[in-house]
Structure 1
Amino acid sequence: MTPAAHISAAIEVLDDVAKRRRPAAEALKDWGIAHRFAGSKDRAAIASLVFDALRKRASAIYVMGADDPRAIMLGALREARGQGVEAIAAFCSAAGHAPAPLSGDERERLETASLNAAPDHVRGDYPEWLASHFEAAFGARAAEEGAALAARAPVDLRVNILKCSREQALEKLAHLSPASTPLSPIGLRIEAGQGRGPALTAETAYVKGLVEPQDEASQLAALLCAAGPGEQVLDLCAGGGGKALALAGQMHNRGQVYAYDADGRRLMPIHERLERAGARNIQVRAPRGKVDVLADLEARCDLVLIDAPCTGVGAWRRHPDAKWRLAPGALERRLKEQRELLAMAVRFVKPGGRLAYVTCSALREENEDQIAAFLAANPDFAARSAAEIAEGAGLPDLARFASPHGPGIRLSPATSGTDGFYVCVLAKR
């Protein structure tokens, strides 16, 4: 397929995403099944175009003055890829499978449209209904933070310190040109290019459990919990086990991590990951009907981790289509779930223990506001300062990311070069 044909295919996929309101990955998969002549490189190129268009959807629509898939794709070629009007026109020749030629209006807009006077949600490429939420979280930097969340993310890996050191992992993966992550002492970073990232599941270092894909902010969130050898730790929203595995490494397989999730289906991937990682101190507690599978942990845990279900705003670099599917009702549901999890967690924290609350969201409502409400209702808990959290984890430099809105640490692409995460540690008196 030619680059022009890739653009035509991307427009087709964007049309499917818009009409059926479904994840882009599903639409791309179906397109590939229906067009088996397209090779893996073609499919990767088309996916890259689709996700770039979704990253820059708001600014592309503003530039083109239209919101149809073709307009979004043309605008994204300019905004996401820096293509000039002549380069875009060369793709649009109608020859073979190329898009139709540019109209006079399309050419004029590509040449002259400016984002200088555009509102923050357009310059930051986030949904308009979130404008007030972004302003509350970021103030005058809302558009800058949104734009950073619309950029491509690098591939970050967590080194499994149960099996090797970062230096050894760097050597094993030298052919991928990894670098040490600037903030996490156990992370590697592979910069993203225009196409598909490396096939990590085919790498020996991954197969043998030396590394796991995990964004640097997620690595830091686990490190800031400061889990120590011999502790009793409950991961209350374990999902596929990413944080539980990281905690097991910090504890050097000593003590116990109890991995629980209210939806047992989300726990299924953890079993294979445990074996690959060599983590021997993780006990999976899947729900069993009305049986209280956590009853024996009441008031026994040194650390309870809530890796809370959230809107996922902080992970938009990796899931750009998710921001356009997010609706106000989803935020309200997540806030309710977070309140319920915080109330549930109190039961398991022993006196002198701690509760770590983590989200991959940038919204105050899901972060500082939830902590403020929790502290008002639970006077036997106190929030640790950002400096205390950072120093307790042996990462004092992270104190510079202290939240300006209350206790906790805030990370974001624009400030820390990571996904957007919030971490707060609460101590039980």
Structure 2
Amino acid sequence: MTPAAHALAAIEVLTEIENRRSPAAGALKAWGAAHRFAGSGDRARIASIVYDALRSRASIAWRMGEATPRALVLGALVFVRHADVDALAAAFAASPHAPAPVTEAERAAIAAASLDGAPDHVRGDYPEWLDASLARVFGEARAEEGAALAARAPLDLRVNALKGDRDKALEALAHLKAEPTPLSPFGVRIPLTDDGRGPPVQAEPAHLKGLVEVQDEGSQIAALLCAAAPGEQVIDLCAGAGGKTLALAAGMRNRGQLYAHDSDIRRLAPLHDRATRAGVKNLQIRSPRGAADVMEDLEARADLVLVDAPCTGAGTWRRNPDAKWRMRPSALDVRISEQDAALDDGARLVKPGGRLVYVTCSLLAEENEDRIAAFLGRRPEFAAVPAAEAAVAAGLPDLARFALPSGGSILLSPRRSGTDGFFIAVLRRT
């Protein structure tokens, strides 16, 4: 397929997303199934254009004067990828499988394009209804924070300390130009190609043998701030596919006992093979069994309980840009209820003197500081551990610079820390 054909396909996918309110991943999969002549490289390039258009949808629409799929694709090619409009016009004209020719109106919009006078939610590429929430956290910097969330995310890996160290991983991945991440001592970053794609690292021997796992540096930091230690009793209560579970296991050095649970058995399924590949030997996976309380025997026994709570995912918009446009206020209300329930469920498992770590991949105070304040109000036997103290306990004192003004929690974001957005609060049962 030619680059012009990739652009046409991206317009078709965005049209499907708009007409059917389909998630981007589903629309791309459906397009690929209906166009089997497109190879894996073609599908990856089409997906990259689609995601670039979705990341910057509001600012592209402002400059183009419309938010049609065609306008979004043209804007992504010109404003995000810095393509020359004359070259685009020539490419479209030269191929029978291409978008319609670039119009004079489109040329004029591109030539006059500016974000001068655009409101914060346009400059920051986030839904207007979230402006007040983001202003509450970031104030006058909310547009800049939003713009950072609209950039492409890096490809980060976590080195599995059960299988080797970072130097070993860097050597194994030297052909991919791997470099250390700046914050996590176990992080490795792989450069992306010009069109935002990363290499197939999951096919690399280092991954197949369990030396590295794909995990954003912010997620690594969240697991490190738990400070899981050898010999402890540790519970990952909302484990999902187990990315943080495996990070906790590495910190425990296979000593002590690690339990992983999730309310959805389907999310836990990949963890079985992942743990085997990583060499984890101290893990019990507690799958849900109907109405049975599969964690009852662990009440007040855990040194550490990690509550990686269900959330809106507002901190991961770089990777899931369509999620921000599909998000609705009612979804936030549902998540808040689930977060309160998860905190209460985790609290009963913490022994006196133990730690409860609350993590979200959200930047919204409604899901973060507000949930901790509400929890401490109804559970006075818990107290917040100062962020600086938690950072020192994790052996990463420099992370204290990401503490929120209250000093009781840490907030990471693409603009603040170069990572996905994460909120981390460490609580101790007195």
Instruction: Give TM-score, length-normalised by structure 2.
Output: 0.98
Contact 1:91–1:99 (Cα < 8 Å) also in 2: no
Is 1:122 aligned with 2:122? yes
Contact 2:386–2:407 (Cα < 8 Å) also in 1: no
Determine the structure 2 residue equivalent to 1:106: 106
| Paired residue type of 2:203 | A
**Partner SS state of residue 372, structure 1:** helix
Determine the structure 1 residue equivalent to 2:331: 330
Residue pairs, 1:70-109, within 5 angstroms = 70-93=70-93, 95-109=95-109
Determine the structure 1 residue equivalent to 2:154: 154
Contact 2:359–2:422 (Cα < 8 Å) also in 1: yes
Determine the structure 2 residue equivalent to 1:411: 412
Q: How many Å separate the matches in 2 of 1:40 and 1:266?
A: 26
Contact 2:388–2:407 (Cα < 8 Å) also in 1: no
Contact 1:153–1:192 (Cα < 8 Å) also in 2: no
Determine the structure 2 residue equivalent to 1:238: 239
Contact 1:4–1:92 (Cα < 8 Å) also in 2: yes
Q: How many Å separate the matches in 1 of 2:297 and 2:176?
A: 46
Task: Give CA deviations for 1:168-204 in whole Å, capped at 9, x if unaligned.
Answer: 1111111111000100001100122215311122111
- Identical-residue share of aligned pairs (%): 64
Runs of 4+ deviating beyond 6 Å: none
Contact 1:56–1:76 (Cα < 8 Å) also in 2: yes
Contact 1:85–1:111 (Cα < 8 Å) also in 2: no
Residue pairs, 1:162-181, within 5 angstroms = 162-181=162-181
RMSD between aligned alpha carbons? 1.2
Is 1:294 aligned with 2:295? yes
Task: Give CA deviations for 1:80-99 in whole Å, capped at 9, x if unaligned.
Answer: 11234323333442741121
Is 1:17 aligned with 2:7? no
Determine the structure 2 residue equivalent to 1:400: 401
Determine the structure 2 residue equivalent to 1:59: 59
Is 1:135 aligned with 2:159? no
CA displacement at 1:286 relative to structure 2: 0.8
Q: How many Å separate the matches in 2 of 1:90 and 1:386?
A: 56
Task: Give CA deviations for 1:82-118 in whole Å, capped at 9, x if unaligned.
Answer: 2343233334427411211222221111100210210
Task: Give CA deviations for 1:347-403 in whole Å, capped at 9, x if unaligned.
Answer: 111110010000000101111111111111111111011100100100000000001
Q: How many Å separate the matches in 2 of 1:79 and 1:236?
A: 43
Contact 1:152–1:192 (Cα < 8 Å) also in 2: no
Task: Give CA deviations for 1:17-56 in whole Å, capped at 9, x if unaligned.
Answer: 1111111121111211211222222211111111111111
Is 1:222 aligned with 2:223? yes
CA displacement at 1:406 relative to structure 2: 5.6
Q: How many Å separate the matches in 2 of 1:46 and 1:347?
A: 48
Contact 1:349–1:428 (Cα < 8 Å) also in 2: yes
Residue pairs, 1:209-358, within 5 angstroms = 209-358=210-359
Instruction: Give TM-score, length-normalised by structure 1.
Output: 0.98
Contact 2:4–2:98 (Cα < 8 Å) also in 1: yes
Is 1:186 aligned with 2:181? no
Contact 2:387–2:408 (Cα < 8 Å) also in 1: yes
**Partner SS state of residue 93, structure 2:** coil
Unaligned runs of 5+ in 2: none
Contact 1:89–1:101 (Cα < 8 Å) also in 2: yes
Q: How many Å separate the matches in 2 of 1:249 and 1:409?
A: 22
Q: How many Å separate the matches in 1 of 2:77 and 2:133?
A: 29
Contact 1:240–1:269 (Cα < 8 Å) also in 2: yes
Unaligned runs of 5+ in 1: none
Contact 1:32–1:43 (Cα < 8 Å) also in 2: yes
Is 1:367 aligned with 2:371? no
Task: Give CA deviations for 1:272-324 in whole Å, capped at 9, x if unaligned.
Answer: 01110010111000111222211111111100100010000111111111111
Q: How many Å separate the matches in 1 of 2:95 and 2:164?
A: 54
